[in-house]
């Protein structure tokens, strides 16, 4: 079982960025992408900074783009806060509820999320 099931990194990571310098935020995103299997797409190394090129971040189920690294990071953080505010209060938007001990893969689908999906589909 991965460490991701023990806590919601999508909630913890944006909070860890508060008060960091722009360079430290870039480093934090690079590390988080590497540690969690996210994707950070940057323009080719020889691109002209005066031309238009998008930076893309795909991390924790959230996708954001920006014309610069810092704008892509700011967009991702804003989208993470929006997603957290609209998340299910029971499971936090994960779709599953965990119980202890975690080592027995103790989890079940969130009944609130299943109910809302069934109502929307029906």
DSSP 3-15: GGGTS-HHHHHHH
Angle at 84 between CA 111 and CA 69, to 5 degrees: 140
For the domain spanning 3-86, the CATH number is 3.30.160
Percent of all residues in the chain with a pLDDT value above 70, rounded to a whole number = 70
Neighbours of 28 (CB within 10 A): 15
Domain ranges of the chain: 3-86, 89-122
What is the spatial distance between Cα 72 and Cα 40, in angstroms, rounded to a whole number?
Answer: 10
Is the model's pLDDT at 101 over the cut of 70?
A: no
pLDDT digits (tens, 9 = 90+) for 2-45: 444 445 677 788 888 888 998 999 999 999 999 888 898 888 77
Backbone phi, psi, residue 94, to 5°: -80, -20
What is the spatial distance between Cα 102 and Cα 65, in angstroms, rounded to a whole number?
Answer: 35
Angle at 105 between CA 2 and CA 31, to 5 degrees: 15
Quickly state the pLDDT bin for 73 (edges 50, 70, 90): very high
Average the pLDDT over 58-84 and give the result.
87
Matching residue, tokens 């994707």: 39
Structure confidence at residue 12 (pLDDT) = 82
Average the pLDDT over 49-61 and give the result.
82
């Amino acid at each position: 079982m991965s460490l991701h099931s023990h806590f919601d990194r999508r909630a913890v990571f944006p909070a860890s960025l508060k008060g960091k310098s722009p360079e430290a935020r870039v480093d934090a995103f690079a590390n988080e992408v590497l540690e969690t299997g996210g994707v950070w797409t940057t323009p080719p190394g020889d691109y002209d900074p005066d031309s238009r090129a998008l930076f893309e971040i795909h991390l924790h189920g959230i996708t954001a783009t920006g014309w610069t690294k810092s704008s892509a990071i700011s967009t991702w953080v804003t989208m993470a806060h929006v997603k957290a505010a609209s998340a299910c209060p029971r499971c936090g938007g994960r779709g599953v509820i965990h119980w202890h001990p975690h080592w027995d893969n103790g989890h079940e689908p969130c009944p609130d999320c299943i109910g809302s999906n069934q109502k929307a589909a029906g």
